[in-house]
Structure 1
Amino acid sequence: MNARQHNIIQLVTDKGRMSVSELAKTFNVSEVTIRQDLTLLEKQSYLRRQHGAAVPLDNDNVETRMLSNFSQKRDIAQFASTLVAPGETVFIENGSCNALLARILAETKATTIVTVSSYIAHLLKDSPGEVILLGGIYQKTSESMVGPLTRFYAQNVHFNKAFIGIDGWQPDTGFTSRDMLRADVVNAVLEKGGETIILSDSSKFGAIHPYPLRPTTHLHRLVTDDGLNEEIRLQLTESGLSVDIVHPV
C-alpha cells in the first residue's frame, strides 16, 4: 500500500464518504488513478465503493453493526460472560459484541456495568443491575461518550475488568480504531493497567485504521471466533496475549 492509498483510507474514515472527483482533486491525480486505488482498497477490505464514491467499510450504528456476523458475536459475548464473576464491576466499551455481553450480564449476573455507550445504558434501562454511564461529548452516530471529560471519568472510576472492541489489527500496526476520540477513551482505560479483554469477530483482523491503541502489553486477552487465521493467532500469543477461540455452539 502506498502513501496515497493509506491517506485515502484515513480521509474516507474521517469524512464518512468521499467522491472520486474529490479524492482526485485532493491528491492531484486523475480519476482513473483514484478508481484503481479504490478497486484495490475495496478488494483488500479497507473500504467500500458506492456510486462514484468511497465509504467506510464499517458503520458506526451499533444495531447495524450487530447484524454483521451476528451468530459469531453472540457466541463471543456468551463466552465472555463466563469470565465475569457475580458482584464484579466491569467496564464495557461501545460496540456490538460489547452490547450483547452487557445484555447477557444484566440478565444473568449481579454486576455493575460502567460504560461510555448510551446505547448500552438504554438497552439495560429495565435491568436490575447498576449501570454507570460516563459523561462527555455525545457522539450521535455511535451513541458513545468521548472527549476529555470521558477520559477523566474513565481514569477515576474503578472496575475489575474492561471489555473493549477494536476495528482492525495488522502485525505492523497492532490494534487500531476508526475513530480518534473513541481510541483516546480506550487508551485511557488501558493506562489504568487492569485486566483488559478484547471482544472481536475475526473479520477485523487484517484491516487497518488510522488510530492506534496501546501496545499489546497493555492488553491481556482476546475472545474471537474460529475464523481467525492460525498465523495471526500465533503472532498474537507470541506478543503475550491470551487468545480464546469460540467455536459455534
Structure 2
Amino acid sequence: MNARHQKIIQLVNDKGSVSVNELSHLTGVSEVTIRQDLTALERENYLKRVHGSAIAMDLEDVGVRMNTRFPLKKTLAEYAASQVKDGESVFIEGGSTNALLARSLADNPSITLVTVSHYIAQLLKNARCEVIVLGGLYQKGSESVVGPLTRLCIQHVHFQKAFIGVDGWHKDTGFTGRNMMRSDVVCALLDKGIEAIALTDSSKFGIIHPYPLSTENHGFRHVITDSQLPADALKCMQEQGIQVDQVTDAAAIA
C-alpha cells in the first residue's frame, strides 16, 4: 500500500464519505487515478465505492482501522510496549493501536495479557505470553465482549496497567467513546483505580462522542499520543494532572 492509498483511507474514515473530486484535489492526482485507487482499495475491503464517492467501511472493524495511519500507530504501540515491565499483567482493551501493542508484547513469556478483544486474542494465538480472554456479550462488529458479565470479570482479574483506546477528547467533556457498551467496559476498568493509559493518535483530540470515559472517582492519568497533539489540548490535560507522553516519529506522522 502506497502513501496515497493510506491518505485516501484516512480521509474516508475521518469524513465517512468523500467525493472523487475532493480526493483528487486533496491528493494532487487526476480523478481517473483516484477511481483506479478506489477500485483497488475496495477490492481489499478498505472502503466502499458508490457513484462519484467513497464511503467508509464499518468503523468498528479493527482490521480496517489498523491500516489507517499504520506507521504512526505502530510507533505509538512500540513506545507503549516499552512502558511494560517484565512480569507484569497488562489489560489491553481493544482498538487498532492496542492490537499492535499486543503484537509488540507477544513474544515476552513473562507477561500476561488480559483482553476483552477476540480480535487481539486471535493475533496472540501463537504468542509466548500468557493470554486471558474475558467473557461477556460478543459484539460482532468490534469483535469485543461487553455487558454485566464483562464487568464482573474485570472486577475479579488483577493487572498492573490498562491500555485503553479512546474515540474522542475535548476540553469540555474529557475522553469519550462512540459505543455505549464498550464505554461501559472502560468505566469498569477505571473503577479499579489502576494505572489507566489512553493510547491514541492525535486525530481523536477535539472530537466529542456521546459516552463519557470516566467515573465519579477515577479517570485517565496517563496519555500516550503523537507529537501532532494540539497545544491547547496538551496544556489542558497537563493542568488536570494528566501525564502526556508525545511520541515523535516524523516519518510515521508524514
Under a length normalisation based on structure 2, what TM-score does the superposition of the two structures give?
A: 0.75
Rounded Cα–Cα distance in structure 1 between residues aligned with 2:158 and 2:239: 29
How many angstroms does 1:107 deviate by?
2.2
What SS does the corresponding residue of 2:183 show, helix, strand or coil? helix
Tell me if structure 2 keeps the 8 A contact 1:77–1:97: yes
Provide the residue aligned with 1:227 in structure 2.
228
Instruction: Indicate if the aligned counterparts of 1:225 and 1:245 stay in contact, CA closer than 8 A.
Output: yes
String of CA shifts for 1:113-144, please: whole Å, max 9, x gaps.
Answer: 00000001010001111100000000001000
Between Structure 1 and Structure 2, how many residues are aligned? 206
Distance 1:94 1:142 in 2: 8
Gaps of 5+ in 1: 1-41
Matches of 1:124 and 1:236 in 2, distance apart?
A: 33
Amino acid at match of 2:144: S
Q: 2:191 touches 2:218 (CA, 8 Å); kept in 1? A: no
Q: Tell me, which stretches of 5 or more residues in structure 2 are unaligned?
A: 1-10, 20-49
For residue 91 of structure 1, report the CA deviation from its aligned partner: 0.4
Q: 1:245 matched to which residue of 2?
A: 246
CA 1:242–1:217: 2 relative to 1, 3 Å: farther
Residue in 2 aligned with 1:190? 190
Q: Displacement of 1:108 after TM fit? A: 4.1
Aligned position for 1:5: none
Match of 1:236 in 2: 237
What's 2:147 paired with? 147
> Is the CA contact 2:165–2:199 (under 8 Å) kept in the aligned structure 1?
yes
CA distance in structure 2 between the aligned counterparts of 1:241 and 1:217, rounded to whole angstroms: 12
TM-score (norm 1): 0.77
Report the AA paired with residue 75 of structure 1: T
Q: Please say if residues 93 and 165 of structure 1, whose CA atoms lie closer than 8 Å, have aligned partners that are also in contact.
A: yes
What amino acid is aligned across from residue 158 of structure 1 in structure 2?
H
Aligned residue type for 2:87: G
For residues 188 and 173 of structure 1, do their structure 2 counterparts lie closer, same or farther at Cα, with a shift above 3 Å needed? same
Distance 1:131 1:193 in 2: 22
- Displacement of 1:231 after TM fit? 1.3
Question: d(CA) in 1 for partners of 2:151 and 2:63?
Answer: 25
- Residue 203, structure 1, aligned to residue 203, structure 2: yes
Residue of structure 2 equivalent to 1:66: 66
CA distance in 1, matches of 2:112, 2:60: 25
Residue deviations 1:150-196, cap 9 Å, x none? Answer: 01111111001000010001111110001000000010000000011
SS at match of 2:169: strand
Greater shift in the superposed pair: 129-138 or 207-216:
207-216
Question: Structure 1 residues 66, 72: closer, same or farther in 2, change over 3 A?
Answer: same
Question: 1:219–1:132: structure 2 CA closer, same or farther, 3 Å change rule?
Answer: same
* Alpha-carbon separation, structure 1, partners of 2:248 and 2:182: 29
Which runs of structure 1 show a deviation greater than 6 angstroms over 4 or more consecutive aligned residues?
A: 49-52, 55-58
Partner of 2:160: 160
What's the counterpart of residue 181 of structure 2? 181
Which secondary structure does the structure 2 equivalent of 1:166 belong to?
Answer: coil
Corresponding position of 2:136: 136
State the one-letter code of the partner of 1:140: K
Pairwise CA distance, 1:49:
6.7
- 1:117 aligned to 2:113? no
